[in-house]
Amino acid sequence: MHTSSYPVTETHGRYGVERWSGGDTVHAEDTVAEETPVALVYNGFSQAVMLATPQDLDDFALGFSLSEGIVGRPGELYDIDVIEHGSGCEIRMHLAGERFAHLRSRRRALAGRTGCGLCGIESLEQLLQRPCPNQSTAAAAVASGALLRAQSELHALQPLFHLTGAVHGAAWCRLDGSVALVREDVGRHNALDKLIGAIAAQGGGFGDGFVLMTSRASYEIVQKAAAVGIPVIAARSAPTGMAVRVAQAAGVTLVGFARDARHSVYSHPQRIH
């Protein structure tokens, strides 16, 4: 059981627990998900500190950089290096000159919550002025049966969730519902960033499939998906109102309550049939 040392590269640990049931108590150990401070450092300057699951951090770095508009394509980010410290991890990477100059004009550092999705936004005015991604014109057509298949496949592809019950899953699904890639994290936005990074690292595009999230669909989730051109995003839980409005404006098909054989389509329903 972990005591004094912080397991900065462990995804989970064993912790003591007192379980109550029907008035009786049992002392046992439980498997608990770990979250680690992860600093994203560009050209020597820290841009954000996130609380994340310490796995697939190369994917996280690339996906975060793409979904936050720090880079426009994978080739503008290079030399990704994950450095372990006593209290967390640093992801050190380098940006092409123009991209770094633009980044330095934005907020220099951010202390982020678990999976914070408003990185670099310092005020309400900045948030409201944030440009909406270009209208998605991808013609991806997803059958309702594909959503059901994706849910079934994703459930079996979340090893950390099955160990801990405490992480979110993000899956990249082909149009027939088969799951191509899955990433997990304690933060839903981090899970999506890791997935985006994994797809981009493999040279894939975002117009010929859909994303399935095990979480709710918040504004940040839709904004990140729209930023890289994902046409359809389905979530197991509810969307927020701001998420629906962003999806409508950005041309993204947003599906909520994707559970078993039912779902609700909140925007651009023409892609679901």
b/e string for 114-139 if b means 16 or more Cβ within 10 A?
bbbbbbbbeeeeeeeeeeebeebebe
For 123, the token pair is 């005020």
Q: Where does the pLDDT of residue 123 fall: very low under 50, low under 70, confident under 90, or very high at 90 and above?
A: low
Task: Tell me: is residue 262 an annotated ligand-binding position.
Answer: yes
Q: In the predicted model, is pLDDT for residue 180 greater than 50?
A: yes
Q: Is 106 annotated in some ligand binding site?
A: no
Would you state the pLDDT for residue 248?
95
Q: Indicate if 116 belongs to the active site.
A: yes
CATH number for the 144-271 domain, one of 3.20.20.105, 3.30.70.20, 3.40.140.10, 3.40.50.1110? 3.40.140.10
Q: Is 170 annotated as a binding residue?
A: no
Classify domain 36-128 by CATH number. Answer: 3.10.20.10
Whether the pLDDT of residue 16 is over 60: the answer is yes
The closest alpha carbon to 54, from 32, 33, 25, 26, belongs to 33
Q: Where in the chain is the domain with CATH 3.40.140.10?
A: 144-271
List pLDDT tens digits, range 236-259. Answer: 999 999 999 999 999 999 999 999
- Poorest-pLDDT segment among 17-21, 111-115, 146-150, 212-216: 111-115
Q: Where in the chain does DSSP place strands (E)?
A: 12-21, 24-33, 36-42, 45-52, 77-84, 89-95, 111-114, 168-174, 179-185, 209-213, 232-235, 253-259, 262-267
**Predicted structure pTM score:** 0.89
The per-residue b/e assignment along 8-47, b for 16 or more CB within 10 angstroms, e otherwise, is beebbbeeeeeeeeeeeeeeeeeebbbbbbbbbbbbeeeb
- Rounded mean pLDDT, 187-212: 97
